A and B are shown apart, each in its own frame.
Chain A
């Protein structure tokens, strides 16, 4: 069958629609992925902020100011050199650094 003028028009139209559909589909997907990326980054920022907050809280709680204050309240103090004995761990090698 020989293609006539109207057939060519239809074929071009179909080709245009296919290409347009692909372009729109890719753009839509790109925006979806961009949204997901944005959300993931946002989640990461929140987690980083949470981690920094927890790190600060841990450091604060384990700081010498806090610990020594609580220890003093319990009647404890930092040991002097005379009261400290460093024991070798079983099997430990104490070589040069």
Chain B
């Protein structure tokens, strides 16, 4: 009996222990490891998916898209799920632009999946997306609707990611990128995923849109012109920069470097500017009252042996030999190295350094472009070589500048003396269009008084006159002012023979500047002088800009007769030093041999449209005034057939065609 009781007690104990063990294990599973098991179970029937954010669009200043993000697809076919492979091969081939026989062959090859990398647009895959056996793999890709226009300024994204690594894409990546979203998708036992609207964790937020200051029309003109010029001159590289001097906005930036597809050298590659920088030495001289309009120096017949305090003289030579004396204005006009070096000796090292620094040389401009170069400007006295650096700086050597810096410095002279930070970004807009940022001109400092800037523009006028080096850059009727520079290229501790940088910095139009243009061509072959390379290219680019529908240009300001031509301006700018004369030329410009008393008949333009009528009257040699609504000419004053002196204005009274049509 006692044995039986003991056995029963043992069995009870075992059962109790077993139950307690089960309870303990259940508690462990539920309370301790429950969360982990729940997660593992959740992973088995759901998957988390990152929803990529659409990257913001980059526009030009007229809202033409330069870079935008678009959904694209890779396509894969599962032969096992396809009933009629031949029919599907035809449809897929038609949609994707592939060969149907090749697709059919790949489907019949026994492969489990047939993959087409593409990428294909939503437009291409729209008719095959719902077919059995067709799977689409969507992704976002960056496209450039205007081709490679401004591609070096826009920059690139890292391969296989949406992260900007260069150019504007890199500089503004955090603004453009947006915030990725997240969703949870349901999985069935086969692993097929299903959207679950209730499980959207976070919607993706698209990136902001960026409106650049670049004008696509001007950019196209600049790139195309630069490409052709480099080809014609067999040159290795070059830059073109158009900048609005009133705001600092960059209107076009074109860079080409032999063998480099993405180099934005206008921002990143400094060069010795040569004679284009002589104007800044002139500015330093005028700012420090070291010269006046009557001061002259000898031209030394184009070869000056520069005396030095350490006993070893060296030569400074001029391409244009001047036997007489030169004023500062004349020195700029004929681009005399000797005269500029002699004048510069009136400055202390600090005076010249401070003036060049004030124009922004040797410092980054602050433009929104990564890896912008600061250039070099040696600091006196430690980085200066006595009797050499000052003379070199005076003619644009011993310092290096980027094309952007040079344009920015010329803008100081164009706008009346203020240095602005050059800008690439005009606006930043949220995806719903709200303007988050709008560029306002950022004045860095006043470098010159307005009167001095006007004097320097007068010097530049001389430099593009018939006596100057930049005559071939001049535009008839819409005059520019500017300065050429043909600088030797430094290499291997010296200056290589026959290697030059030809550049032309200009301000256009001369009287109310809208564009500062810097054109640079490296290592042109044959005619290497800037006067024969960069200056004519500038003229061609600006003439094309004048004839184009560029948003950045204020053509209205060019209307009317208030345009001075360099041809009619005094040949020497020396006379302009105190008060540059304003020359106003009436249209049409009477040719030199035309008789001033010639009389012309007013042509009959009644009933013709305003454009044709204006053209006809101009063509006759008379001026046009317009009065009324755009449309057709209903009356002229004086009347058609009247004899009038050449150049007299004829008023065209116009009305819209609607108002002139007879009522039924």
Contact = CB atoms under 8 A, between A and B. Distances in A.
A59 B146 CA distance: 6
Contact of B628 (A34, A82, A90): A90
Given A87-B626, A89-B559, 11 more contacts: A31-B197, A38-B195, A48-B71, A49-B122, A50-B123, A53-B121, A56-B146, A59-B64, A84-B477, A88-B556, A92-B559
B413 to A, nearest CB: 18
Interface stretch (A2-10, A11-19, A60-68): A60-68
Given A46-B123, A81-B477, A90-B628, A33 B197 contact: yes
A88 B146 contact: no
B111 interface: no
Interface string B530-573: 00000000010011101100000011111110000000000000
A87 B556 CA distance: 8
A52 to B, nearest CB: 6
Contacts of A80: 475-476, 543
B504 to A, nearest CB: 16
Contacts of B477: 81-82, 84-85
B122 A90 contact: no
A31 B194 CA distance: 11
6 contacts: A34-B195, A56-B146, A79-B546, A81-B476, A86-B560, A93-B556
A82 B556 contact: no
Contacts of A34: 195, 197
B559 A94 contact: yes
Contacts of A89: 556, 559, 626, 630
Nearest to A58: B145
A21 interface: no
A52 B143 contact: yes
A42 B224 CA distance: 38
Nearest to A55: B145
Task: Determine the main DSSP class of B at the interface with A.
Answer: mixed
A84 B556 contact: no
Task: Determine the main DSSP class of A at the interface with B.
Answer: helix
Given A81-B476, A90-B627, A94-B559, A56 B145 contact: yes
Contact of A78 (B544, B556, B627): B544
Nearest to A37: B197
Nearest to A45: B122
Question: 10 closest pairs, A vs B, by CB?
Answer: A81-B475, A45-B122, A82-B476, A88-B559, A49-B121, A49-B123, A94-B556, A49-B122, A86-B558, A34-B197
B116 interface: no
Most chain B beta carbons < 10 A, residue from A31, A45, A65, A89: A45
Nearest to B68: A52
A12 B651 CA distance: 94
B71 A45 contact: yes
Contacts of A20: none
Nearest to B624: A87
B559 A90 contact: no
Contact of B555 (A30, A31, A81, A86): A86
A87 B70 CA distance: 42
Nearest to B223: A64
A85 B122 contact: no
Interface in B479-527: 514
B65 A85 contact: no
B122 A48 contact: yes
B129 interface: yes
